[in-house]
Every structure is written in structure tokens, then in C-alpha cells.
Amino acid sequence: MRKLFITALLCCTVILPTLAQTKAKNTDKNAAKAQTFTHPWTGKRVAYFGDSITDPGTGGSETKFWGYLQEWLQITPLVYGVGGRQWNDIPRQANKLREEHGDNFDAILIFMGTNDYNAGLPIGEWFEEKYERVEYAAGYDKRMEDRKRRYPIMSNSTYRGRLNIALDSLKRMFPTKQIVLLTPIHRAYFYAGNRNVQCTEDYTNRCGEYLDAYVESIKEAGQIWAVPVIDLGAVSGLYPMHEEHKQYFVNKDTDALHPNDVGHERMARTLMYQLLTLPCTF
């Protein structure tokens, strides 16, 4: 019996792979997976809404951030950004997208807000509240109770009102599409003649607000309207307030507002990695 057991054991040890062999096989499998990994946004059709940083007609850079994403991920860009526009232009851009492409696209990226700050648009409030009667029950028979109810403020005269209008419209127009908000990047001095001079972001605008308030409102809008936000102002690392970072912008003396090719490439590289965390289609 003992001889039979030893013989069987020897047979087993012959057919079992060694630990080194198992590790090698796993490594080969992982390497194969790595080689076949596809970015979830590869080959998709993406609409870009925004202002001059998105606008293909803006000078100072031959390739915009969306152009790099097109090159690296083969994304088909549908670009609707227009220089100088503010958040009240988003519904127009959305309507144009629908007119030209219907539902034949996958996602929308919105990169907007710096011109609302520059124009001195008041931040405003998200909601107005009213007391209303509502049916309710919690361990007792249902009854009518007085409760405060909030309604989104839809107004083009405030920043949050514009965000409400735009996102309410987009969520209704394109309920099956991914919509991603990008916060404004940092901005420094811009001079395009005596009728267009913009100071650095460490000054308040005409309504007494810093750029930070407009960035924070984008983040809040993401939570209110169930829309993902990429804080491009933070994660891109672009900081033209420092002389050393003006190499990423069009002109260190007259245009530290618009990124140059190197600046757009840095934004695009950041977006490429950030978008890995988000599905493009559902």
C-alpha cells in the first residue's frame, strides 16, 4: 500500500506545474491583457462645447486639446466652442449639435466659465424655496404636512442660473449620453488692445468675485445635476500666475490666458487619463 501511495505522489508531482511556471504563465496573461487594453473613449464621437480655448479658430496653438485626443484615441471631435462665449451659449451649442448630428454621437465635454468670471456675472443662487403641502407617513397614518420645497432658479442673469438652464436642457435633450464638465483653468494677464485687457485671477471681477467661485460652482453643479466633473484647473497643473509656467501659454507678456500647443498637449494628456475613470457610453 505504501509503495502505491508513493508512486501516486510521484505521479502527482510530475504533472503539477512549479510555482515559477505558474507565475510565468500569469505574467504572460497579464502582459497579453496589457497589450490588448483599449481606452474606453477610443474611436468614439465626442462633442466639445466651450469658448476660445476650445474654438478651432482661436490662434496661438495649431492643435487644441481635442485634436491631441483625436490623434491619440482616434476620437472624432464635434467642436462647437466659440471664442468669448459664456455659459448662456451652451443651449445654442447643444441645439446646433442636435440639428447637425441628432443622436449620432457618444458624449459631450463642456469647458466653459472663464468668460463669465471676466464679464463680472453675479454667482447667484441655485434654488428658490417655497412651503408646500405634501403627503407623508413615517410610522403613522399618512397625512398632509407643510414642507419647504426647492426649485432650480432658471435665470441668465446669474452664473448658477445659467448652469441650471444649460444642464436642465442637456439632461432632457440627451438623457442617454455621457456629459462631463471641465472646470476653467487658471488664468493670468491678457492684452488684445485697449478695449480688451484682462487682469490676473488674483483680482476680483467687477462683481467682487474671484475665479475660484466660478470653479466651485461647476463642481457643485455636478452634484446637483448628476454630471461628472473633471477639475481641469487643478489636475492639469497649469499655473500661469508663475513666470515659469508661462511657457505653456501663447505669450508671456500679452497672453497668459490661452494655452499654446504645449499647454493644450498637457491638458489633453491629463484628460486622457481622467477619462479612463468614466464610461463614454452606457
**pLDDT tens digits, 238-263:** 999 999 999 999 999 999 999 999 99
pLDDT of residue 5: 42
pLDDT of residue 16: 43
**Residue 214 resides in a domain:** yes
Residue pair 173/94 in contact (Cβ under 8 Å)? The answer is: yes
pLDDT of residue 39: 97
**Residue 11 resides in a domain:** no
Handedness of CA 91, 96, 101, 102 (dihedral sign): positive
- Which three-class secondary structure state does DSSP give residue 145? strand
pLDDT of residue 11: 43
Instruction: List the grid coordinates of 99.
Output: 440639428
Cα 118 from Cα 138, distance rounded (Å): 49
- The secondary structure of 171-227 as a DSSP string is HHH-TTSEEEEEPPPP---EESSTT-EE--TTS--TTS--HHHHHHHHHHHHHHTT-
pTM of this structure: 0.86
Neighbours of 74 (CB within 10 A): 12
Q: Which residues pair with 229 in a beta bridge?
A: 181
For residue 254, give Cα distances in angstroms to 108, 222, 258. 32, 33, 10
CA angle, residues 74, 77, 80, in degrees to nearest 5: 170
Q: Using a CB cutoff of 8 Å and minimum separation of 24, what contacts does 230-235 make?
A: 230/180, 230/181, 230/182, 230/183, 230/271, 230/274, 230/275, 231/183, 232/111, 232/182, 232/183, 232/184, 232/185, 232/267, 232/270, 232/271, 233/183, 233/184, 233/185, 233/186, 234/183, 235/270, 235/274
**pLDDT tens digits, 141-194:** 899 999 999 999 999 999 999 999 999 999 999 999 999 999 999 999 999 999
pLDDT of residue 36: 74
Could you tell me the CATH number of the domain that includes residue 197?
3.40.50.1110
**Residue 33 resides in a domain:** no
**Residue 3 resides in a domain:** no
Which of 241, 250, 256, 165 lies closest to 210 in space, CA to CA? Answer: 241
Residue pair 133/103 in contact (Cβ under 8 Å)? The answer is: no
Cα 275 from Cα 279, distance rounded (Å): 8
| Beta strands 229-230 and 255-259, pairing class | unpaired
Instruction: List the grid coordinates of 116.
Output: 463669465
Structural domain boundaries, residue 190: 39-122+154-277
**Residue 76 resides in a domain:** yes
**Residue 147 resides in a domain:** no
Instruction: List the grid coordinates of 139.
Output: 410610522
**Residue 13 resides in a domain:** no
**Residue 144 resides in a domain:** no
Number of structural domains (the chain) is 1
> Per-residue pLDDT for the chain (282 aa), expressed as one digit of tens each?
444 444 443 343 434 456 566 556 666 665 555 567 899 999 999 999 999 999 999 999 999 999 999 999 999 999 999 999 999 999 999 999 999 999 999 999 999 999 999 999 999 999 999 999 999 998 888 999 999 999 999 999 999 999 999 999 999 999 999 999 999 999 999 999 999 999 999 999 999 999 999 999 999 999 999 999 999 999 999 999 999 999 999 999 999 999 999 999 999 999 999 999 999 999
